[in-house]
Chains A and B, each alone.
Chain A
Amino acid sequence: MRKTVIAQEAFRNISTGASRTVYLFFVISFILFSGAGWSSRTVVDLSMDAEKFRQAGGSVTIVSAPAKIDGEQCDALSKTSGISSSGAIRQIESITFSALPDRALNQYAITPGFASLLSSTSLETSVSGIWISRDLSSDTGWLAGSKVSLSDGRTSDVAGVYDFPSDGRDQSLAYAVASPYSYSDLFDECWIDSWPISPQSEQLSYLSVLASPDGIFEMEVPTIRQLNSTLGVKFDGSEKFDKVPFVAVQIFLIAISFSSATIWIWTRRLEFSSALHAGVRRADIILQLIIEFSVLMVPAGLVSAIILYFFSHYSNPDPWISSFCVGLKFIFISALAFLLSIIFTPLFLREDNLFRYFKER
Chain B
Amino acid sequence: MQINLTDVSHSFSGQPQLFTHVTFSICSGEMVAIVGPSGSGKSTLLSILAGWQKPSEGEVLRSGIESISWVFQNPHGVAQRSALDHVSLPLLARGLGRSEADTEARRILEIFGLLELSHRPFSSLSGGEAQRLMLSRAVAKKPSVLLVDEPTAQLDMASAKTVNAVLSSLSGIDSIVVVATHDFHTRDACSRVIDLNDFIIDESS
Contact = CB atoms under 8 A, between A and B. Distances in A.
Interface in B133-190: 137, 141, 149
A9 B102 CA distance: 13
A18 B47 contact: no
B89 A280 contact: yes
Q: Quick one: which of B52, B72, B92, B149 has the most chain A CB within 10 A?
A: B92
Contacts of A358: 72-74, 76, 149
Interface string B76-101: 11111100010001101111011001
A279 B78 contact: no
B74 A352 contact: no
Contacts of A1: 92-93, 95
B80 A2 contact: no
Contacts of B137: 278
Contact of A5 (B50, B53, B80, B92): B92
B97 A5 contact: yes
Contacts of B149: 358
Given A5-B98, A354-B70, A355-B47, A278 B81 contact: no
Contacts of B94: 279
A274 interface: yes
Interface in A252-271: 270-271
A355 B70 contact: yes
A238 to B, nearest CB: 52
Contacts of A279: 67, 90, 93-94, 141
Contact of B80 (A18, A278, A284, A359): A18
B121 interface: yes
Nearest to B47: A355
Nearest to A19: B80
A274 B93 contact: no
B4 to A, nearest CB: 21
A279 B95 CA distance: 10
Contact of B85 (A12, A270, A361): A12
Contact of A355 (B53, B67, B101): B53
Interface in B114-146: 121, 137, 141
A211 interface: no
Contacts of A271: 78
A16 B90 contact: no
B9 interface: no
B78 A18 contact: yes
B97 A274 contact: no
Contacts of A274: 76-77
A281 interface: yes
A354 B101 CA distance: 24
Contacts of B101: 5
Contacts of A352: 50, 52
A41 to B, nearest CB: 38
Contacts of A225: none
Contacts of B77: 274
A20 to B, nearest CB: 10
Contact of A12 (B81, B97, B141): B81
A9 to B, nearest CB: 8
A206 B43 CA distance: 93
A270 B43 CA distance: 18
A278 B93 contact: yes
B72 A278 contact: no
Contacts of A284: 93
Contacts of B53: 355
A245 B9 CA distance: 60
Contacts of B85: 12
Nearest to A359: B43
Given A1-B92, A12-B81, A277 B74 contact: no
Contacts of B52: 352, 355
Given A13-B81, A18-B80, A280-B93, 19 more contacts: A1-B93, A2-B95, A13-B78, A16-B121, A18-B79, A271-B78, A274-B76, A275-B93, A277-B70, A278-B89, A278-B141, A280-B92, A281-B93, A354-B70, A355-B47, A355-B50, A358-B73, A358-B74, A359-B43
20 contacts: A1-B93, A1-B95, A2-B92, A2-B97, A5-B98, A9-B92, A12-B81, A12-B85, A13-B78, A16-B81, A17-B80, A18-B80, A274-B76, A274-B77, A279-B67, A279-B94, A281-B93, A355-B52, A358-B76, A361-B74
